[in-house]
Structure 1
Amino acid sequence: MKILVIRFSSMGDIIYTTPVVRCLKQLPGVEVHFLTKPAFKYIYDNNPYLDKLLLLKESLSDTIEVIKAEHYDYIIDLHSNLRTAIIKLRTGIKSSTYNKQRISKWLSLKFKLKLVKPVHLVDRYLKTVKFLGVVNDNLPIDYYLKKNHRLNKLLPASHQQFIAFVIGATHFTKRMPNEKVISICKKLSLPVVLLGGNDVKANGDEIVEAIGPYVYNACGITTLDESVFLVQKAEKVIGFDTGLTHIAEAFNKPIVSIWGSTIPELLGVQPYMVKQSLVAGVELPCRPCSKFGQAACPLGHFKCMYDIDENSIVNFVNS
């Protein structure tokens, strides 16, 4: 049996497809392929459960021709959008499609109703392949480093044992204000390494300036693979709702997952199969104000981040 799994984006959504691929591969004689955008190729590089990785071409017609040539028995559509609908229609391959619960999510967001059950995205995905007899193996997500890195080459001697703090996130309302990050870092019992892209390098510099060399700013310095390696080597991880924080779950590290304007229950992306985790967030009438985050707090107060209890985070990390 030959199966194509499709998920085009984004980093977090694709990383949560890895248990589906792994569990599919447990079926006797199955061959599993995965189709995604070229930008997310790295998520499935070196994955031993995947037989072939297909990359979305500029022309959807060209992609469809590649799919037709593979003669798949099933398409597992975990993206469920217009492009995947066209692919399924034009290939005529039997398929099973992930239920995005769009109406329930919209109503939950618009009217602050809890219409979406707090089921993890992995389990939602797995429902799509249940008809094949796939069973959840209850293991964490998968991520495989591209090369071996050396800790002493990436970090100073003072930071060979450390807490990783992922301060990057796509949208402003997913990021904790610098003053809150500074306050938390000052109370931690181990040195801190800040991780993120070049877009938050200035934030990291401000945090280091306020605290001193106890905090090392690796934002914009380390590659993604090096950042993942540092997450793997950290004692514990603190992070916002962003891809690197989700990737950390692959290494079963104790994780503090910090949520501002978005909530994990709606998207089903709370830490998955992690032995120790803390989801930090506050109940507010205005929260969530967005499914994916915004450029600014619509009401101007940003209480969803400012009101988060710092002591619960510090106690979890220091324990």
Structure 2
Amino acid sequence: MKILVIRFSSMGDIIYTTPVVRCLKKQLPNAEIHFLTKPAFKYIYDNNPYVDKLLLLKDKLAGTINEIKAEKYDYIIDLHNNLRTTLIKFNVRVKSSTYKKQRIQKWLSLKFKLKLVPPVHLVDRYLKTVAFLGVKNDEQPIDYYIKADHKLSKLLPPSYRDGYIAFIIGATHFTKRMPNSKIISICNQLKHPVVLLGGNDVKANGDEIAAQSDNVYNACGITTLDESVFLVSKAKSVIGFDTGLTHIAEAFDVPIASVWGGTVPELLGVQPYKVKEVLIAGIDLDCRPCSRFGLEKCPLGHFKCMNDMPERPIVDFADR
């Protein structure tokens, strides 16, 4: 049996496909499992022992379709469900199973603050697409395989190597991130050293935070993604926003304070998965959630979802 699993983006959504791939491979031992994604997200499945072949989306969809036809799959598992995957399935014409996105229910829930989407995790929603093969949830965490043998001694100053809190300050959209002043306040209350993590886009934020905080090291824009994942895996605890690196942290079962501003985890089904110690930080407001994926500014201008976030529960959780 030969199976192709498809998910093109984004980082967090692809991370949550890893239990599906693992369950397929382990529960269908004679099956050959391939995975198709965008080249930008290749790293998520690098070194993954449950994938027999990784396919990368080509510039022209026709090239990808021809490649898929040549592989002669028995099944396509479509975990993306968009126009491109629809065209792939139409042209390849093999048996397929497709993830149901519940677009209308999500739109109504967001627009009218209704609760039409059951708080089922995305992993479980994905796994419904392979239930017809007799595949069941193995109740294990997500998978992420660090690519190199990194050393704390090469990544952090000496005073941070005996235990630190990883604070992931990056996120794609403004309404997912805390203001710098709020992060500074939290860092100054923490008893343990703090390592700031994020991309080059938040390096200046990290510099400002580190300059006004005690015992904070800014690794934003300095460490590679793989190094950042390694630092997350070795942390005493993690504080992070709704962003890919925070979701990757779930693979290592470190305590996670998952902080939510304008978005909410239950609408997307992306609350921390199979992590023993979790704090979901978010406040109830009539205007929240204001979007499914985040916005470039607060629609009402007050940004209360982050500005009014209680700090003490986050500090106490991360420090214990």
Which of residues 169, 192, 195 is equivalent to 1:190? 192
Distance 1:206 1:276 in 2: 30
Paired position in structure 1 for 2:213: 211
The 3-state SS of whatever aligns with 1:211 is: coil
Paired position in structure 1 for 2:247: 246
Deviations 1:38-83 (A, max 9, x none): 0000000000011000000011011000000101000000000000
The 3-state SS of whatever aligns with 2:283 is: coil
CA RMSD, Structure 1 to Structure 2 (Å): 0.6
Paired position in structure 2 for 1:153: 154
TM-score by length of 1: 0.99
- The one-letter amino acid paired with 2:314 is I
Paired position in structure 2 for 1:109: 110
CA deviation after TM superposition for structure 1 residue 187, in Å = 1.1
Paired position in structure 2 for 1:137: 138
Matches within 5 A, 1:87-102: 87-102=88-103
CA deviation after TM superposition for structure 1 residue 307, in Å = 1.5
Paired position in structure 2 for 1:306: 307
CA deviation after TM superposition for structure 1 residue 189, in Å = 1.5
Distance 1:222 1:61 in 2: 37
The 3-state SS of whatever aligns with 1:193 is: strand
Deviations 1:165-193 (A, max 9, x none): 00000000000111111111111111000
Runs of 5+ consecutive residues of structure 2 not aligned to the other structure? none
Paired position in structure 2 for 1:233: 234
Paired position in structure 2 for 1:21: 21
- The one-letter amino acid paired with 1:51 is D
Deviations 1:106-155 (A, max 9, x none): 00010010100110000000011011000111111000011111101100
CA deviation after TM superposition for structure 1 residue 28, in Å = 3.1
Deviations 1:286-305 (A, max 9, x none): 00010100000000000011
- The one-letter amino acid paired with 2:226 is D
The 3-state SS of whatever aligns with 2:292 is: coil
Distance 1:307 1:117 in 2: 27
Paired position in structure 2 for 1:41: 42
Distance 1:243 1:87 in 2: 27
Paired position in structure 1 for 2:64: 63
TM-score by length of 2: 0.99
The 3-state SS of whatever aligns with 2:212 is: helix
Paired position in structure 1 for 2:166: 164
CA deviation after TM superposition for structure 1 residue 309, in Å = 1.1
Paired position in structure 1 for 2:74: 73
- The one-letter amino acid paired with 2:23 is C
Distance 1:215 1:315 in 2: 17
Distance 2:40 2:165 in 1: 29
Distance 2:29 2:12 in 1: 29
Distance 2:306 2:3 in 1: 42
Runs of 5+ consecutive residues of structure 1 not aligned to the other structure? none
The 3-state SS of whatever aligns with 1:216 is: strand
Deviations 1:210-255 (A, max 9, x none): 114x000000000000000000111100000000000000001100
Paired position in structure 2 for 1:86: 87
Distance 1:93 1:42 in 2: 28
Distance 1:194 1:133 in 2: 43
Q: 289-298 vs 25-34, which deviates more?
A: 25-34
Distance 2:137 2:191 in 1: 37
The 3-state SS of whatever aligns with 2:108 is: helix
Paired position in structure 2 for 1:274: 275
Paired position in structure 2 for 1:11: 11
CA deviation after TM superposition for structure 1 residue 98, in Å = 0.1
Distance 2:211 2:127 in 1: 46
**Percent of aligned pairs with the same amino acid:** 75
- The one-letter amino acid paired with 1:144 is Y
- The one-letter amino acid paired with 1:201 is K
The 3-state SS of whatever aligns with 1:298 is: coil
